[in-house]
């Protein structure tokens, strides 16, 4: 299977690297020529226009920072809609607006191609090892065609339903992660103010009902002082804003979500739109005069789980817990 990959940022670069490492025939494109050069040095081909890349590939993947960026590579000059057709798949791996992926997806389908929204979840460190989780919104036939590729990219692969469903679920998970991050910052700051050792606090949370994936990853970067999670505040606001939009469109009166949006907007004003999201703790450090830090925590996250071929996760009531894929 020939794959074209557009977008080599933190997440995209890690995902494309997993494909390359596993021997996939890969062509790449990014606005930063240095990123393309690094992939070319490792054996990937450098792409030209999205249209040319789609013409030469079986699957074109986009992993971009905004719906507008995806629209540009689809519909702009030299966009991939010019050459998409029967036998071609567009896999949108960006965290994006479900309505927008459906709009562009309809254009792909009208030209005889296939489309899936395929966001991932689990952090850049797990994207780099092929152990991230993958959601796929598309018809079942397209999912089956993509599954061999998705089980290279990720460990757990979930077919979420029709096009757009994966994007809705992805922004929901990012909303939950953001809420967890903010409450963890409040918990750490409160324990520091109460005189509780923060390394001990970390372990107390880890072994308790308060534990979470966000705690076991991002709390470590907060305590080390690194706070470099490879995810910026503008992306947080995009994602939780999309979640808020979904809620409002369905008449769900959220209370926590608007507070999170206000908190991150304030943090952007303080630290910059592209500040790392874990710097949200610094609002509490400034308010209390405390340093929310502890010795012995890493400056960067490393996924220590061995890389392995993924498998489909089947929802309860639809068969076995895991199906497909090879060990």
If pLDDT is split at 50, 70 and 90, which confidence band does 319 have?
low
pLDDT digits (tens, 9 = 90+) for 196-222: 999 999 999 999 999 999 999 999 999
pLDDT > 50? residue 327:
no
- Residue 146: which H helix or E strand, with range? helix 140-153
The CATH fold assigned to 168-288 is: 1.10.1040
Average pLDDT of the segment spanning 24-32: 98
Whole-number Å distance between alpha carbons of 87 and 102: 19
More confident residue, 136 or 323: 136
pLDDT at 318: 78
Average pLDDT of the segment spanning 188-201: 98
pLDDT at 324: 45
Whole-number Å distance between alpha carbons of 311 and 166: 17
pLDDT > 60? residue 95:
yes
pLDDT > 70? residue 147:
yes
Whole-number Å distance between alpha carbons of 56 and 163: 24
pLDDT > 90? residue 145:
yes
If pLDDT is split at 50, 70 and 90, which confidence band does 320 have?
low
Average pLDDT of the segment spanning 37-64: 98
pLDDT at 170: 97
CATH code of 2-163+306-323, in short, is 3.40.50.720
pLDDT at 74: 98
Q: Is 243 helix (H, G, I), strand (E, B) or coil?
A: helix
pLDDT digits (tens, 9 = 90+) for 264-317: 999 999 999 999 999 999 999 999 999 999 999 999 999 999 998 999 999 998
Domain locations in the chain as residue ranges: 2-163+306-323, 168-288
Residue 115 contacts residue 92 (beta carbons within 8 Å): yes
Q: What is the mean pLDDT of the chain?
A: 96
pLDDT > 80? residue 158:
yes
pLDDT at 268: 98
Q: Residue 320: CA atoms inside 13 Å, Cβ hemisphere, count?
A: 5
- Residue 193: which H helix or E strand, with range? helix 165-193
pLDDT exceeding 70 applies to what percent of the chain? 97
First CA to last CA across the chain, in angstroms? Answer: 20
Residue 83 contacts residue 98 (beta carbons within 8 Å): no
Q: Name the residue with tokens 């206000």.
A: 262
Whole-number Å distance between alpha carbons of 163 and 22: 27
pLDDT at 321: 46
**Dihedral pair phi/psi, residue 277, rounded to 5°:** -65, -30
Q: Is 87 helix (H, G, I), strand (E, B) or coil?
A: coil
Average pLDDT of the segment spanning 39-55: 98
pLDDT at 317: 85
């Amino acid at each position: 299977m020939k794959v074209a990959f557009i977008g080599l940022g933190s997440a995209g670069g890690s995902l494309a690297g997993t494909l390359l490492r596993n021997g996939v025939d890969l062509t790449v494109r990014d606005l930063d020529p240095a990123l393309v050069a690094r992939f070319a040095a490792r054996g990937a081909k450098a792409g030209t226009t999205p249209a040319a890349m789609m013409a030469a590939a079986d699957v074109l993947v986009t992993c971009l920072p905004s719906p507008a960026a995806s629209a540009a590579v689809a519909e702009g000059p030299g966009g991939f809609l010019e050459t998409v057709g029967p036998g071609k798949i567009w896999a949108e791996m960006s965290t994006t607006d479900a309505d927008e992926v459906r709009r562009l997806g309809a254009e792909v389908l009208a030209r005889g191609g296939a489309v899936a929204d395929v966001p991932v979840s689990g952090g850049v460190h797990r994207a780099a090892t092929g152990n991230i989780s993958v959601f796929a919104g598309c018809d079942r036939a397209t999912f089956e065609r993509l599954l061999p590729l998705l089980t290279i990219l990720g460990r757990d692969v979930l077919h979420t339903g029709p096009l757009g469903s994966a994007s809705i679920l992805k922004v929901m998970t990012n909303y939950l992660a953001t809420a967890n991050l903010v409450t963890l910052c409040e918990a750490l700051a409160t324990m520091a103010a109460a005189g509780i050792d923060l390394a001990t606090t970390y372990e107390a949370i880890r072994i308790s009902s308060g534990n979470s994936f966000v705690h076991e990853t991002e709390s470590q970067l907060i305590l080390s002082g690194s706070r470099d999670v490879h995810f910026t505040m503008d992306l947080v606001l995009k994602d939780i804003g999309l979640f808020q939009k979904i809620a409002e469109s369905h008449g769900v009166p959220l209370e926590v979500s608007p507070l999170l949006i206000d908190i991150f907007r304030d943090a952007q004003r303080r630290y910059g739109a592209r500040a790392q999201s874990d710097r949200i703790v610094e609002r509490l450090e400034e308010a209390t005069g405390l340093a929310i830090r502890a010795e012995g925590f890493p400056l960067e996250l490393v996924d220590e789980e061995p890389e392995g071929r993924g498998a489909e996760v089947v929802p309860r009531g639809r068969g076995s817990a895991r199906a497909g894929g090879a060990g």
